[in-house]
Amino acid sequence: MASSNRLRHVDSMASLPSGAGSIRELNAVILGESLASEENHLVFPSDDFSRQALISSPQQYLEMYKRSIEDPSGFWSDIASNFYWKKKWDQNLIYSENLDVTKGDVSIQWFKGGITNICYNCLDANIESGNGDKIALYWQGNEPHVDGSLTYTQLLHRVCQLANFLKDNGVQKGDTVIIYLPMIMELPITMLACARIGAVHSVVFAGYSAESLHQRVMDCKPKIMITCNAVMRGKKTIDLKNIVDAALLESSQNGITVGLCLTFENESAMKKEATKWEKGRDIWWQDVVPKCSTICDVEWVDAEDPLFLLYTSGSTGKPKGVLHTTGGYMIYTATTFKYAFDYKDSDIYWCTADCGWITGHSYVTYGPLLNGATVVLYEGVPNYPDSGRCWEIVDKYKVTIFYTAPTLYVTRYSRKSLRILGSVGEPINPSAWRWFFNVVGDSRCPISDTWWQTETGGFMITPLPGAWPQKPGSATFPFFGVQPVIVDEKGNEIDGECSGYLCVKSSWPGAFRTLYGDHERYETTYFKAFPGYYFSGDGCSRDKDGYHWLTGRVDDVINVSGHRIGTAEVESALVSHPQCAEAAVVGVEHEVKGQGIYAFITLVEGVPYSEDLRKSLVLVVRSQIGAFAAPDKIHWAPSLPKTRSGKIMRRILRKIASRQLEELGDTSTLADPGVVDQLIALADS
């Protein structure tokens, strides 16, 4: 393919000069000025910011981007050479790929044959370069007076102790360990300990129910479960050990027994004496891990050996085990972190995401530590003991880079230390972007509004803070090595200003390699719709200047505060309620969570609507999946709009849920068009 053809989606970047010029006259705003509401504002980094930025101009970005597309082997090989490899990869085969299902099995490999270890690169390599005494982790507990910290050397010692314990208890390279921990320091410690010995970690968000945890145990058959007895989230105590016990009991009844449950005593939430215990299986972390040696040999692994499994909701009820491998993921997360946040050695970095999600893997643990960064971890919730908690933490630790879902309330705190803001979760709309820019960042901090997914491993479309002007609400341009394309329903690439399905052609190092134990589902879900491309499942518009605007999911997955939840998963939980005959779930815009969950419920014949029943249905979802998946709205539905073939017309349900009643479109294909009027009449009941 001709170079100009491959790069056409950023050709318009060439017209964006870093100095004064015609584009700066188009309602441009320089950092430090307040941003008004005009849609066509361009927000430029200040000259001072750009001068000090790692990528300081559109021209520098374009040169690097073009090389990353035209010579991916050379581009990524040069970057990878900055990390430690026990053995270099085959220089003649930096990567191999087939994204076209019509030409055989989908396959992606990067740095195959290269031997390395991501834990070594996160910790040992930083210590060897003189950063042993630098703070790696600041930890802030749920209560404001509870905190802690670890230097890189101290963190390595803790990681080695746990790694030795795991090895002493039979965990070997390739074995899976499930981690069900809250945001305490032991969570990244456990991830790194697994990586050090070549074990595959699967972190499960410590808010998932016993049933969800059980499903994951059944799928990946872990050697060991690691948890803590409880956690405080605000004033609420969550008994994590009880949830684990229920999940392990159900798993053993279904033929999968986990022989060891290592439990950390989180004494601020629950004392040992109050924790239920199963002798022979359960063991206290504090009784055994501190006794282990602080030196642990590294298990060197191939670049394509598995690093972790992370389960994400799918369009069917069964969670998908997204599998990431070591070498490419390591290089990609480190590089995206460095450039998207313009990282400097003096920065203090805080990402508010939980390590139970991909953001916590790539941008709490691995990406930052691979760059030798100082990372803040926070155990609690953003509004405890009051709504200023996050800003108190920003001021306390002098946070310079803050990566969060931009829905937090700003109060009396200075936030003067902030240098760069990042937005995670749903793409933020222009008004939320302006609020984040004007209020949180005092009109002086660039915003990295990042688009990426669990499956991509790292940022795919994201601003580089010093490189180019931003547009409020746009994820801007692709990261190095990423070729986003917008296609129509037939899979034809659309040029210029357009809207359609967002796909990626050609692979990138951070791409996931398969769905655990189900490569066929991997191919069907991501590659069959548009052969030759990775299909993101998202819609996207590209404007006349080449900027990308994400328009949300085009399949049945809802993104709630950055948590991807399959509608089928929520629906199956709802219909398990004895009085629910049928359920259909859609996503609606939510000013705090990005998307909210809106459930249409058909009850068993003869059962009356009631507030108690509404609460009972929400409770079923909370207990089966977790509180984060609870429906925001229950809409009573005597029947659902279906085609004659029985397919639920979700398009119509979305319009009713968002009250876009003038946009219902053609309802003539419905088996009973009168259903729509019925639903509208019951909208606020």
Sign of CA dihedral 394, 396, 399, 403: negative
* Local structure of 87: helix, strand or coil: strand
Which residue in the block uniquely carries the two structure tokens 């951070």? 510
CA distance 470 to 449: 10
Q: Is 354 a catalytic residue?
A: no
Instruction: Let me know if 129 is exposed, middle or buried by CB neighbors in 10 A (0-12, 13-18, 19+).
Output: exposed
Neighbours of 199 (CB within 10 A): 25
CA distance 541 to 553: 13
Strand 557-560 to strand 563-566: parallel, antiparallel, or no bridges (unpaired)? antiparallel
Which residues have CB under 8 Å from 448's CB, separation 6+?
A: 340, 341, 403, 420, 421, 422, 423, 459, 462, 463, 465
Cα angle vertex 520, ends 72, 96, to 5°?
A: 20
CA distance 350 to 368: 10
CA distance 546 to 123: 39
CB-based contact 256:215 (threshold 8 Å): no
CA distance 553 to 30: 33
CB-based contact 306:200 (threshold 8 Å): yes
Q: Which helix (H) or strand (E) holds 441?
A: none
For 54-66, the DSSP string reads: SS-SHHHHHHHHH
Alpha helices in 341-410 (DSSP H): 358-360, 367-370, 389-397
Closest by Cα among 605, 341, 625, 632 to 466: 341
For 461-530, the DSSP string reads: B---TTTS-B-TT--BSBPTT--EEEE-TT--B--SSEEEEEEEES--TT---EETT-HHHHHHHHTSSS
584: left (phi over 0), alpha (psi -120 to 50) or beta: beta
Cα distances (angstroms) measured from residue 60 to each of 90, 93, 321 = 29, 27, 38
CA distance 568 to 216: 17
* Catalytic entry in 90, 555, 556, 677: 555
Q: 672: number of CA atoms within 13 Å, CB side?
A: 10
3-state secondary structure 216-253: HHHHHCCCEEEEECCEEECCEEECHHHHHHHHHHHHHH
CA distance 6 to 393: 45
Closest by Cα among 10, 17, 9 to 468: 17
Residues annotated as catalytic are 555
